[in-house]
Amino acid sequence: MKSRRMTRRGLLTTAAGAALLLGFGKVSAQESRPVWMPFDGFPPADSMAEGLQFLTPDEARTVGAIVERLIPADALSPSGKDAGCVDFIDRQLSGPYGVFSGQYREGPFQDGTPMQGDQSPLDARQRYRLGLAALDGWCRANAQAAFADLPEDRRDAILADLETGKITLDGIPAELFFEQVLANTMEGFFADPIHGGNKDMVSWRMLGFPGARYDYLDSLDIAGTPLRLDPIGLKGGPSWSADWVPPSAPARKG
Amino acid sequence: MTHAFSPISVAAGFAALILSVPTASAQQTYERFGFAQTERGRYIAILGDCAACHTAPGGAPLAGGLRFETPVGAIISSNITPDRENGIGKMTLKEFDAAMREGIGQGGKRLYPAMPYPAFSNMTDEDIADLYAWIMAQQPAPAQINSNELKFPFDIRTGMIAWNMINFKPDAFKPDPAQSAEWNRGGYIVEGPGHCGACHSGKTITMGDKSSEHLTGAIIENWVAPNITGDAEAGLGAWEEQDIIAYLKTGANRFDIASGGMMDVIRHSSRMWTDGDLKAVAVYLKSQPGRSGKPLAAALPETDMRMQAGARIYKDRCSACHFDNGEGYPGLFPSLAGAGSVNAEEPTSVLHVVLAGSRAVATPAAPTGPAMPSLGWALSDNDIANVVTYVRNAFGNTAAPVSTEQVATARAALQP
């Protein structure tokens, strides 16, 4: 075989080609399809949890005593406690949200201006653990009972004072603790029941929200007519069982 | 921005340089058999879909190693590269022919009929010789394969002598002079190299092909290989020749998108068949009578409680893609109305895709490869029984209802 002369041009071309091939290898690896796996359903990790995951029974009792005052039972809906907000908060705290894993958490932590938002070094778990202990400590010192054992109107007054900062808690600003619990209570009340709250889709029924549906293609021709769809969550709803009976009278005006 | 030369063309040229250097053995084979014969053999290997079984994912081409779980143990596909130690490099044409058409491997070793030699016995002498030429021109791979992990007594290969006596009559495909050349070509491909019956024909208790259930469908690896006869109700009756051609060539047609085992057939084989061969196969399949003789179930009434609950689940979870009329969307969402795998006696395929999900085949002609999400986590066994019962009895479908126990069994069989 005739020996080939390596020219400068040839060397450069070959080197460029080799580099490109290597480069293409990397690019194609990133651009390849996501691997499809059987049974890849991505259910939320917390959806199968049973029993308390993070809160102690005493803490859970106190959270229940708070959320049933933030969302009291009335003609429109059951209370936040009966809707499962305690379960929702407990499961969220046990998961990535509990340590704010989606946030930058390395500091430095300084008091910011109100416009700069939440600057606290405390993650959600710490806010509950410190806040609940401090609240009970304050109640025992000033009302001679644990928060959960106080009458409703007394609890309402204490919660109002937490919101405005009239009460000082040990280890955590009272407003921060109140905002944290209020936000999580609303999330639990309105989120998909798969996360533990919104039991029987009570909040969705209250609002007339039909739940996790893809589209309403088949309803386009009946514009102006209330659909009165029974809500469904990610794991379905009562209408999926064989003995379900459609509600006869509309519960609310459309 | 200017370039003296396109980087892509340089890379492509570089790659072509690597790929175009023939191996020593390939060079010798070209000289021995000639380019034309080797090329004909390449097409026979495509028709026969050798790669689907003899190339493991990520492994060297034709080097074997793919596992097939059977109820009596595992069979592992062999290395059929021309490697002289671990492949079939030492095989003469005569020995190769014996393996292909009689199931007798090197040294008289009996092959398991997972290798579809009963179908290949229909192949012509010329096709066998061409295929041999092509295989001997391939890159040898040193992969050592122990192809037999079967349990006693099935691990004794001489048992296949008895199997052959019951199930195997080596017989070349006999053209039917009353039929067109196209029909005969289609028949040759379907019954011979294409070995369609290996999956689509009913099996006897000894796993031989049941002649009374030729191409009328079977269960294989937790999928239904549907009835592919021309039978109006159970088979491909609703599919025009063009639909069969599009399905084999692109993986999708106006009714369906391939999933399960058929994905490999399309990806490695039928998408590269000539248009003439695709048409011939379509003509032949359409001409096949549906001979299963099993009466179709009557559709359940809409008033059935399972149908009522199933309809509501379908509306909430399925109709977004498959639509209220069950007809799906051509090229993206398979039609459930009239689908063979939905109406099959066993609900295996429907349960498979509902429980585990499925990714349909992607080919250059239909590159999307849409996926059905797994609903196994969100639907209970009872929900799935109701919705699958509904799908099998709505949109003009008629098939037996599915019980919660059937769903639980399927779930246990599929769950990794």
3-state SS, chain B, equals CCCCCCHHHHHHHHHHHHHHCCCHHHHHHHHHHCHHHHHHHHHHHHHHCHHHHHECCCCCCCCECCEEEECCEEEECCCCCCCCCCCCCCCCHHHHHHHHHHCECHHHCECCCCCCHHHHCCCCHHHHHHHHHHHHCCCCCCCCCCCEEECCCCCCCCHHHHHHHHHCCCCCCCCCCCCCHHHHHHHHHHHCCCCCHHHHCCECCCCCECHHHCCCCEEECCEEECCCCCCCCCCCCCCCHHHHHHHHHHCECCCCECCCCHHHHHHHCHHHCCHHHHHHHHHHHHHCCCCCCCCCCCCCCCCCHHHHHHHHHHHHHHHHHHCCCCCCECCCECCCCCCHHHHCCCCHHHHHHHHHCEECCCCCCCCCCCEECCCCCCCCHHHHHHHHHHHCCCCCCCCCCCCHHHHHHHHHHHCC
Q: Answer yes or no: do B355 and B385 share one domain.
A: yes
- Residues B354 and B376 occupy one common structural domain: yes
Asked if A38 lies within 8 A of B13 by C-beta distance, the reply is: no
Which of B114 and A136 is assigned the larger pLDDT? A136
Q: What is the pLDDT of residue B22?
A: 46
Using an 8 Å Cβ cutoff, are B131 and B100 in contact? yes
Q: Complex ipTM, two decimals?
A: 0.73
List the single residue in B with minimal CA-CA distance to A13.
B10
Contacts with A213 from chain B: Cβ below 8 Å: 316, 320
Instruction: Divide the 416 residues of chain B into consecutive groups of 10 and give the mean pLDDT of each group.
Output: 45 46 56 88 96 90 87 85 92 93 85 86 95 94 77 68 69 88 96 93 70 84 90 85 95 90 92 97 92 67 94 92 92 90 91 93 88 91 97 93 97 89
Contact A20 B7 (CB under 8 A): yes
Number of domains present in the structure of chain B: 3
Task: Specify if B133 maps to a domain.
Answer: yes
Q: Is the pLDDT of residue A30 over 70?
A: no
Q: Which of A13, A41, A215 sits opposite B10 (nearest CB)?
A: A13
Residue B224 and residue B321 in one domain: no
- Rounded to the nearest angstrom, the minimum Cα separation between B19 and chain A is 13
The domain spanning residue B388 has which CATH number?
1.10.760.10
Chain B residues 189-218 with a CB less than 8 Å from chain A: none
Closest alpha carbon to A241 in A250, A228, A232, A249: A232
Q: What's the pLDDT at B148?
A: 67
Which chain A residue's Cα is nearest to B382? A241
Nearest to A38 among B11, B323, B356 (CB): B356
- B165-200 pLDDT, tens digit per residue, is 666 676 778 899 999 999 999 999 999 999 999 999
Helix (H) or strand (E) segment spanning residue B224 = strand B223-225
Q: Which CATH number does the domain housing residue B246 bear?
A: 1.10.760
pLDDT of residue A155: 97
Question: Which ranges constitute the DSSP H helices of B168-274?
Answer: 181-191, 197-200, 241-250, 262-268
Residue A109 forms contact with B (CB below 8 Å)? no
Q: Considering B167, B194, B223, which residue would you say is the last residue of a domain?
A: B167
Non-local CB neighbours of B121 within 8 Å, separated by 6+ positions: B101, B102, B168, B170, B171, B172
Comparing alpha-carbon positions, the chain A residue that sits nearest to B356 is A39
Q: Which two tokens stand for residue B340?
A: 């063979």
Residue B356 at interface with chain A, using a CB cutoff of 8 Å: yes
Which has the higher per-residue pLDDT, B49 or A254? Answer: B49
Q: Quick check: helix, strand or coil at residue A68?
A: helix
Binding site per annotation, positions of B for heme c: 50, 53-54, 196, 199-200, 318, 321-322
**What is the distance, to the nearest Å, from the Cα of residue B16 to the centroid of all Cα atoms in its chain?**
32
Backbone angles phi, psi at A143, to 5 degrees: -130, 5
B218-220 and B148-150 strand pairing: unpaired
A228 touching chain B per CB within 8 A: no
Q: Which residues form the domain of B309?
A: 305-414
Domain final residue pick, B287, B313, B330: B287
What's residue B266's pLDDT? 95
Put simply, whether B373 touches A (Cβ < 8 Å) is yes
Provide DSSP, B288-304. S-----PPPPPPPPTTS
Which one is predicted more confidently, A87 or B369? A87
A103-107, A199-203, B13-17: least confident range = B13-17
Query: Which residue from A217, A232, A30 is spatially nearest to B321, judged by alpha carbons?
Result: A217
Taking contacts as CB-CB distances below 8 angstroms, the residues of chain A near B306 are 242
Q: How far is A215 from chain B (nearest CA, A)?
A: 7
| Domain assignment of residue B299, yes or no | no
B121 plus B214 within the same structural domain: no
Q: Which residue among B252, B287, B322 closes a domain?
A: B287
Is B296 domain-assigned? no
Contact B69, B149 (CB under 8 A): no
Best mutation site among B377, B386, B388, B411 for testing chain A: the one with the most A CBs within 10 Å?
B377
Tell me if B298 is assigned to some domain. Answer: no
Give the residue from chain B lying closest to A212, CA to CA. Answer: B316
- Residue B304 touches partner A, C-beta closer than 8 Å: no
Determine, yes or no, domain membership for B373: yes
A214: left (phi over 0), alpha (psi -120 to 50) or beta: alpha
Q: Distance from A54 to chain B by nearest Cα, in Å?
A: 24
